[in-house]
Amino acid sequence: MPVKRDYYEVLGVSKSTSEDGIKDSYRKLAMQYHPDRNKSPDAEERFKEISEAYAVLSDREKRRQYDLLGHSGFDQRYTTEDIFRGVDFGSIFKDLGFGFGFEDVFSSFFGRRNYGRRVIKGRDIAFGLEISLEEAAKGVEKGIKISRVEKCDVCSGTGASSKDKIRTCPRCKGNGKVQNVRRNGFSMFVQVTSCPSCKGKGKIIDSPCRKCRGTGLEKKPRTITVKVPPGIDGGYQLRLRGEGEMPVEGYPGDLYVEINVTQHKDFKRIGDNLLHDLKISFPQATLGTRVTVPTLDGNAQVKIHRGTQPGEIIRLKGKGVPQLQGYGRGDLLIKIDISVPKKLTKQQKTLLEKLAIEFDKN
């Protein structure tokens, strides 16, 4: 799959460009690359590219998500249908005087035009993936096992025992639809319905495939590799396009992988930062010392200053979680807790009593 260009670059605008500026830029590029005006071989692909960019950047929420997540994260959350849903291309194309409109743009993304027969998308699949905090921070590839509906490997999805057992439906002539004409005086009413002979398929199978029993589909186990990006957090969904189930005719659904990050024994995640509770003794907090603390990159030495108080935070820069679809890392926050012993030896008690007397003198 080719790498998508940045949407702002596609429209020739900056991230600070207003909504009106986005629309004006799209109008100019649409005039230049619209298939009704530009007959060059790459015009329609270029037109699709600028239309997708406009569909995202003209919508405040989609634009905010794109700015936050970038292409990779945005594409994992939004399908092509999501991107184009609710976008008003009609008024723009009408003003420009073009006949090639929104449905043609949308249909061209799937390599098809809408000639009346409904194109079906397969069922989406949901899967829960549990990973460790270390895997979430550094990124990981995981193989997940799913069971999904695919084309039958015997008949290649035709549903017939052999190709010569498939014939065009004589009733609808392969269109999958029939017209019912009813006259009432000088009026004529035409109703278009799915062909009852072929059930809208446009073909009839005389000898069904024995394995799939004519459906063209079968359930198969699969192992899918999921690439988890660095910095992901629990609750995020990764969308793998085309890894869902196949319909009888159409294109496959998607696989949605919901991430669950297991609780860590040493750290609590707060955004891109990590929190670690560190217990030290009263003498260590009073006199100062150096202690060893865990990080995602291994152990590190931390200086405890004299007079450190309970609840104080020591910050280790860049020792947190990488920013998702961004640059840099969060910090490791070390929260100080003073450990108070529940049991004392006789000597410890005597020394503390003497120390308490000394403190009272002040």
Q: Give the residue extent of every domain in the chain.
A: 1-114, 163-205, 268-361
CA-nearest of 242, 319, 250, 8 to 107 is: 250
Distance CA 43, CA 305 (A): 66
Is the four-CA dihedral 60, 64, 67, 72 of positive or negative sign? negative
Q: How confident is the model at residue 362 (pLDDT cuts 50, 70, 90)?
A: low
What the block records as the tokens of 103 is 């449905």
Distance CA 289, CA 300 (A): 14
* Interval 321-342 mean pLDDT: 90
Q: Which residue has the higher pLDDT, 82 or 212?
A: 212
Specify the amino acid at residue 160.
A
178-192, 218-232, 238-252, 321-335, range with greatest mean pLDDT: 218-232
Q: How confident is the model at residue 292 (pLDDT cuts 50, 70, 90)?
A: very high
Q: How confident is the model at residue 311 (pLDDT cuts 50, 70, 90)?
A: very high
Report whether 209 contacts 158 (CB < 8 A). yes
Cα angle value 351/353/355 (rounded, 5°): 70
Mean pLDDT lowest among 7-11, 95-99, 229-233:
95-99
Indicate whether 16 pLDDT > 50: yes
Mean pLDDT, the chain, integer: 85
The CATH architecture one would assign to domain 1-114 is Orthogonal Bundle (1.10)
- The residue with tokens 């006949």 is 99
Does the predicted TM-score (pTM) go above 0.75?
Answer: no
Cα angle value 138/335/232 (rounded, 5°): 20
Mean pLDDT lowest among 100-114, 138-152, 195-209, 323-337:
100-114
**φ, ψ at 81 (rounded to 5°):** -60, -40
Residue 224's pLDDT is 94
For the segment 19-57, what is each residue's pLDDT rounded down to a tens digit? 989 999 998 998 888 776 777 878 888 888 998 999 999
Indicate whether 286 pLDDT > 90: yes
Task: Using a pLDDT cut of 90, give the percent of the chain over it.
Answer: 49
Residue 188's pLDDT is 64
Looking at domain 268-361, its CATH class is mainly beta
Neighbours of 21 (CB within 10 A): 14
The end-to-end CA distance of the chain, in Å, is: 74
Task: Using a pLDDT cut of 70, give the percent of the chain over it.
Answer: 88
Q: How confident is the model at residue 2 (pLDDT cuts 50, 70, 90)?
A: low
Residue 1's pLDDT is 44
Indicate whether 220 pLDDT > 90: yes
CA-nearest of 111, 79, 92 to 51 is: 92
Burial of 114 (0-12, 13-18, 19+ CB in 10 A): exposed
Output the CA–CA distances (angstroms, integers) from residue 260 to 159, 202, 219, 232, 263, in the order listed.
39, 45, 27, 10, 9
